[in-house]
Amino acid sequence: MRAVVVALGKIGLPIAAQIAGAGHEVVGCDVDRRVVDAVNAGRAPFPGEAGLDERLAELVPAGRLRATDDTAAAVGDGAELVIAVPPLVVDAAAAPDWRVLDAVVDDIGRGLAAGTTPVVVSIETTLPVGTTRKRIAPALAARSGRALDGDDVSLVFSPERVFSGRVFADLATYPKLVGGLDAASEARGVAAYREFLDAEVRGMGSAEAAELTKLVETTYRDVNIALANEFARHADALGIDIAPVIDAANSQPFSHVHRPGVAVGGHCIPVYPRFYLAGDPGARLPAAARAVNEAMPAYAVDLLGDVAGARVLILGVAYRGGVKETAFSGAFGLRDELARRGATPVATDPLYSGDELAALGFAPWRGEDVDLAVLQADHAEYARLSAGELPGVRVVVDGRDVLDPARFAGVEVRRIGSP
Q: Average pLDDT, whole number, for the chain? A: 97
* 14 confidence band (pLDDT: 50, 70, 90): very high
Same domain, 137 and 215: no
Same domain, 146 and 263: no
Query: Which range marks the domain in which residue 46 is found?
Result: 2-205
Average pLDDT over every residue of 103-116: 97
Instruction: Tell which residue, 110, 38, 100, has the closest CA to residue 13.
Output: 38
Whether 88 has a pLDDT exceeding 90, the answer reads: no
Same domain, 233 and 191: no
Whether 8 has a pLDDT exceeding 90, the answer reads: yes
Give strand ranges (E) for 43-196. 65-68, 81-84, 89-90, 96-97, 119-123, 153-157, 176-180
What's the structural domain count of the chain?
2
Same domain, 219 and 198: no
Q: Which of 190, 205, 220 is the last residue of a domain?
A: 205
Same domain, 250 and 144: no
Whether 91 has a pLDDT exceeding 90, the answer reads: no
Same domain, 44 and 145: yes
Same domain, 141 and 247: no
Whether 87 has a pLDDT exceeding 90, the answer reads: no
Same domain, 398 and 386: yes
DSSP 382: G
For the domain that residue 86 is a member of, what is the CATH number?
3.40.50.720
Same domain, 177 and 249: no
Same domain, 70 and 96: yes
pTM value is: 0.92
Same domain, 181 and 259: no
End-to-end alpha-carbon separation of the chain, Å?
59
- Cα(167)–Cα(66) distance, rounded to whole angstroms? 20
Q: pLDDT tens across 339-361, in order?
A: 999 999 999 999 999 999 999 99
Same domain, 187 and 271: no
